Amino acid sequence: MELMENDIFLSLRSFQLVIDNDAGFEKLQYMVLNCPLKLEAQFFSIVRNKQLKNLLGHCFRTGFVSQWGRMDSAFGNVSSSVKAVLLDESKEKVYLSKGDMWSIHKFGGTCVGSSERIKNVAEIIINDGSEGKLVVVSAMSKVTDMMYDLIYKAQSRDDSYIAAVDAVFEKHRLTAVDLLDGDDLATFLSRLHHDINNLKAMLRAIYIAGHATESFSDFVTGHGELWSAQMLSCVVRKSGLDCKWMDTREVLIVNPTSSNQVDPDFVQSEKRLEEWFSRNPCNIIVATGFIASTPQNIPTTLKRDGSDFSAAIMGALLRAQQVTIWTDVDGVYSADPRKVSEAVILRTLSYQEAWEMSYFGANVLHPRTIIPVMRYDIPIMIRNIFNLSSPGTMICRPTLTENEDGQKLDSPVKGFATIDNVALVNVEGTGMAGVPGTASAIFGAVKDVGANVIMISQASSEHSVCFAVPEKEVKAVADALQSRFRQALDAGRLSQVAIIPNCSILATVGQKMASTPGVSATLFNALAKANINVRAIAQGCSEYNITVVVKREDCIRALRAVHSRFYLSQTTIVMGIIGPGLIGGTLLDQLRDQAAVLKEEFNIDLRVMGITGSRRMLLSEVGIDLSRWRELMKETGEVADMEKFTHHVHGNQFIPNTVLVDCTADSNVASCYYDWLQKGIHVITPNKKANSGPLDQYLKLRALQRQSYTHYFYEATVGAGLPIISTLRGLLETGDKILQIEGILSGTLSYIFNNFIGAQSFSEVVAQAKQAGYTEPDPRDDLSGTDVARKVIILARESGLKLELSDIPVQSLVPETLRASASAEEFIEQLPQFDQDMAKERQEAEDSGDVLRYVGVVDVVRQEGRVELRRYKKDHPFAQLSGSDNIIAFTTTRYKEQPLIVRGPGAGAQVTAGGIFSDILRLASYLGAPS
């Protein structure tokens, strides 16, 4: 309804009591009826009543004055309420109470993405028992992106922007029809039509100009919040509650400081909030997120993802008891769960920790959200609207953190965050040292091109300054620095401006890091053991954050390695098993049986990603089901390809640690160890070929092992599962000196000579050993002594001797004439012909009170080794063996009179696989698993 001049006159006459005098009233009347275009300034020059100023000023600002002496029809919607307040001066002014009575809720776009979800949000608001509730809402899911797309299309002069506007309209119309009815629906659709027409006019202007100013863009993109707030407030009111919606452009005042950042004006915003509440007293306020105004009342935004910031500002203005950020995740994770599947929800974070993690890309909070609430110690809760049972994460001032048992949690690191797609810029030269203003010139040049410096690192020598910038900005930065320092570069005072592309930043965050020694050591140790090279390092004096730069392709492995190392997740190891024969198959069965215990009790996750034999291999992306590996190998196995196998097992970038377990006796497989270790693949094996092969290759392999953090374990190469290598190393590392190592090192030959007694012939005992599975398929492989010689060489080299296998004299038990027999069966058939020789040896030993034993000897003093059949007295430890037991005697400077003896089963698939398994667990311990 349009107001006529007499309506205006009557309304103004009712104000006469609050205007200074009749002359003032007549002047005001004249201005309204005759020169409304200059009305506001002159009006405020004579009107001194604050409430009158504010309410009529609102009318002027929102454009209710249109032409000579008349008001826009939109004024009819509000004039009655304005007049009612102003005419009744006897009403007491409504003041805004602040404090714990208020709770703040913020709902993101996914939370209000459909009519059903808006109803869910309304239910949460209704069920909150707080006396006062302020709800900040984002635009419906994808709407803000749609609005930005409108601007892009319009300034690109793409006529499809018109259809895109209609799509925005239809999305909200359908949602409103589903949610609202009656007057609420009619009012909303009228406002929606009005807004869409204004948008089309604005976009038409952008289309013609081919350009959108920042103010135009902010005006357009802020509409989604206006519509979602109005719809939600109507739904809440339907339940009978007192709820009003707030256009926060009337309340939040911000000062733009750059193209992507604003500073809130808390003083002005607080005054405007009080004024708004005096006009709209209610218990529930649904406020628009993201949008605000400048001090000049120009619409603006809090920039991308600014609704969180809106909620925090409102929480500070109201001194609220809590700000709850409702989103689609259960809380703040210890790391990005898309990169670390074992990432956990953090129950609490300090403001500083949350600040650090949000800056470094933890996609939960706007980086500046924490600042307003810190001032008043207002906690922020991160909750999942789709999982109300989850307690979420509380961000607050730090307190003593306890677990469910009431015990103090001592983990100094709370979480990890990453930033991808960054580049390092390194400015270096001797001319920088001690020259004031160099850093200022460097970063002044960076500022001039508008680049964002993410991290800075400089050594105390001042020889170089290294900093990280987004990769998309690095070319402009490099060009600016080359131009700024052209003279210094030409003169040699600066040696280079180097760019290192394809980097990622990994930040380790935790407030307790500041008081905990060794955190940095643990961090860099974990990265080193995962074979991750660190490009740059930065740590502030607050010690809340240690930042490292790594290669982009290493980022996920680095993240998983450090996350695992600080016991925030399991120590996960990717495994490839080579040789699924008797020993390899037994190992796989042991892994299957122990997997659950290792996960539950020791936090170790062993995932077999590949199994390969000489002909077929089985590969998996997630881990082979070890209860079915044999049938899977037959059903889905493919042609064996060692290169493809290695690439598959090591190619999983989500898991930092890879180990290949070689259960073969193949020299070709052993020849791959060096390349595997170079690539950062750990190697575990019972295969003796590498350590007993050519000396130069062995020394090269061991040198590589010592230079890197890649592990090479081979305990099972000597004595199956017995701790022989580890015992020898322990003696040497503690300063003992080895004099001699002597031992029965073959389980097969131990069995043969333990049973070569009485009337049994040598050939009969060999046949029994073969039948019992103690020998190789061809017993000559055992009887030749070559296997024992390899073990002797391994022990000799571990003791520091530089011997070749050919340096070891070996007494073979295979008759010379049978060494070239056609087959193992033929050898067994012909062996009885030579029983007489062995029977004679046994008889001579018995006559002297001795027994025969086949031994390997390392004489460190003489620097030699040998393999031979020896006699021992019946009370000697070597004479006390049974079955296939092995025994090794270490004679050292400490154990000279009574050698140190290691004895136990030295053959059999179970004990050998157990020895390999023990090495796997030792590797897990070295990589961070609890011991």
DSSP code string of 168-200:
HHHHHHHHHHHH--HHHHHHHHHHHHHHHHHHH
Boundary-marking domain end, from 371, 396, 421: 396
Cα Rg of the chain (Å, integer) = 40
Mean pLDDT over all residues of the chain?
85
Chain position carrying tokens 């993405």: 113
| Alpha carbon distance 206, 159 (integer Å) | 12
Q: Give the CATH number, domain containing residue 459.
A: 3.30.2130.10
Say how many C-beta atoms besides its own lie within 10 A of residue 241's C-beta.
15
| Alpha carbon distance 761, 840 (integer Å) | 11
Q: Which whole number is the average pLDDT over 707-735?
A: 90
Chain position carrying tokens 């936090």: 603
Q: Please return the burial class of 597, using the count of CB atoms within 10 Å of its CB with bins 0-12, 13-18 and 19+.
A: exposed
In eight-state DSSP terms, residue 71 is: B
- Short-list 714, 719, 761, CA closest to 881: 719
Cβ atoms 227, 206 nearer than 8 A: no
Q: For residue 601, what pLDDT is reported?
A: 81
Q: Give the CATH number, domain containing residue 627.
A: 3.40.50.720
Q: For residue 930, what pLDDT is reported?
A: 62
What's the Cα-to-Cα distance from 538 to each of 433, 458, 546, 547, rounded to whole Å?
A: 20, 8, 6, 5
> Is the domain of 522 the same as that of 671?
no
- Three-state SS string over 747-784 comes to HHHHHHHHHCCCCCCHHHHHHHHHHCCCCCCCCHHHHC
- The per-residue pLDDT for range 352-384, each reduced to its tens digit, is 888 888 776 556 677 688 889 999 999 999 999
> Is the domain of 439 the same as that of 586?
no
- Short-list 306, 310, 430, CA closest to 366: 306
Q: Give the CATH number, domain containing residue 870.
A: 3.30.360.10
- The per-residue pLDDT for range 68-107, each reduced to its tens digit, is 233 333 333 333 333 333 444 444 567 899 999 999 999 9
Classify residue 659: in a domain, yes or no: yes
> Is the domain of 297 the same as that of 338?
yes
Classify residue 91: in a domain, yes or no: no
Q: Which residue has the higher pLDDT, 27 or 726?
A: 726
> Is the domain of 515 the same as that of 612?
no
Cβ atoms 715, 915 nearer than 8 A: yes
To 5 degrees, how large is the angle CA 366–CA 370–CA 371?
A: 115
Q: For residue 430, what pLDDT is reported?
A: 74
Say how many C-beta atoms besides its own lie within 10 A of residue 703's C-beta.
10
> Is the domain of 556 the same as that of 585?
no
What's the Cα-to-Cα distance from 406 to each of 119, 320, 400, 402, 410, rounded to whole Å?
A: 39, 29, 10, 5, 12
DSSP 635-680: HH-EE--HHHHHHHHHT-TT--EEEEEE-S--HHHHTTHHHHHHTT
- Short-list 307, 389, 335, 290, CA closest to 108: 307
**Three-state DSSP class for residue 249:** helix
- Short-list 575, 628, 646, 647, CA closest to 604: 575
Alpha helices in 449-518 (DSSP H): 474-484, 486-491
DSSP 319-368: T-SEEEEEESSSS-BSS-TTT-TT--B-SEEEHHHHHHHHHTT-TTS-TT
Boundary-marking domain end, from 567, 583, 599: 567
Cβ atoms 425, 496 nearer than 8 A: no
pLDDT at position 139 over 60: yes
Q: For residue 17, what pLDDT is reported?
A: 35
Q: For residue 434, what pLDDT is reported?
A: 67
Q: For residue 43, what pLDDT is reported?
A: 44
pLDDT at position 503 over 70: yes
> Is the domain of 487 the same as that of 553?
yes
**Three-state DSSP class for residue 4:** coil
Q: How confident is the model at residue 162 (pLDDT cuts 50, 70, 90)?
A: very high
Q: For residue 259, what pLDDT is reported?
A: 65
Q: For residue 94, what pLDDT is reported?
A: 78
Q: 3-state SS of the chain: helix, strand, coil percent to 5? A: 45, 20, 35
Tokens standing for residue 156: 């690109």
In eight-state DSSP terms, residue 793 is: H
Q: How confident is the model at residue 264 (pLDDT cuts 50, 70, 90)?
A: very high
Among 737, 791, 873, 896, the one annotated catalytic: 791
> Is the domain of 149 the same as that of 293?
yes
Classify residue 54: in a domain, yes or no: no
Number of compact structural domains in the chain: 4
Q: For residue 742, what pLDDT is reported?
A: 97
| Alpha carbon distance 794, 883 (integer Å) | 24
**Three-state DSSP class for residue 908:** coil
Side chain identity, residue 180 = L
Classify residue 20: in a domain, yes or no: no
- 98 labelled catalytic: no
- The per-residue pLDDT for range 372-431, each reduced to its tens digit, is 999 999 999 999 999 999 999 999 987 654 443 333 345 688 889 899 999 999 998 876
Note down the domain range covering 577: 571-719+920-927
The beta strand positions in 38-187, using DSSP E, are 102-107, 132-137
Alpha helices in 362-473 (DSSP H): 370-374, 438-448
Those residues whose C-beta lies under 8 Å from the C-beta of residue 30, and which sit 6 or more positions away, are: none
Q: How confident is the model at residue 541 (pLDDT cuts 50, 70, 90)?
A: low
> Is the domain of 577 the same as that of 694?
yes
> Is the domain of 800 the same as that of 885?
yes
**Three-state DSSP class for residue 310:** helix
pLDDT at position 237 over 90: yes
pLDDT at position 349 over 50: yes
Tokens standing for residue 690: 């590498």
Side chain identity, residue 651 = G
> Is the domain of 530 the same as that of 601?
no
- CA-CA-CA-CA torsion sign (192, 197, 198, 204): positive
pLDDT at position 752 over 70: yes
- The per-residue pLDDT for range 270-313, each reduced to its tens digit, is 999 999 999 999 999 999 999 999 999 999 998 776 889 999 99
| Alpha carbon distance 799, 693 (integer Å) | 16
Q: For residue 66, what pLDDT is reported?
A: 32
Output the CA torsion 798→802→805→810 (10° steps): -80
> Is the domain of 553 the same as that of 649?
no
Q: For residue 929, what pLDDT is reported?
A: 67
**Three-state DSSP class for residue 901:** strand
pLDDT at position 618 over 80: yes
List strands edge to edge, sheet with 545-551.
455-458, 464-470, 415-428, 496-509, 545-551, 534-539
Chain position carrying tokens 């020694």: 517
- The per-residue pLDDT for range 878-931, each reduced to its tens digit, is 999 888 899 999 999 999 999 999 999 877 789 999 999 999 999 988 877 665
Q: For residue 542, what pLDDT is reported?
A: 62
pTM (two decimals): 0.63
Q: Give the CATH number, domain containing residue 362.
A: 3.40.1160.10
Q: Which whole number is the average pLDDT over 691-702?
A: 94
Classify residue 59: in a domain, yes or no: no
What's the Cα-to-Cα distance from 276 to each of 58, 109, 208, 373, 824, rounded to whole Å?
A: 11, 25, 37, 22, 100
Classify residue 247: in a domain, yes or no: yes
Q: Which whole number is the average pLDDT over 34-45?
A: 42
> Is the domain of 710 the same as that of 731?
no
pLDDT at position 525 over 60: yes
pLDDT at position 63 over 50: no
Q: Which whole number is the average pLDDT over 658-662?
A: 95
Classify residue 751: in a domain, yes or no: yes
Classify residue 23: in a domain, yes or no: no
| Alpha carbon distance 651, 355 (integer Å) | 34
Boundary-marking domain end, from 542, 567, 592: 567
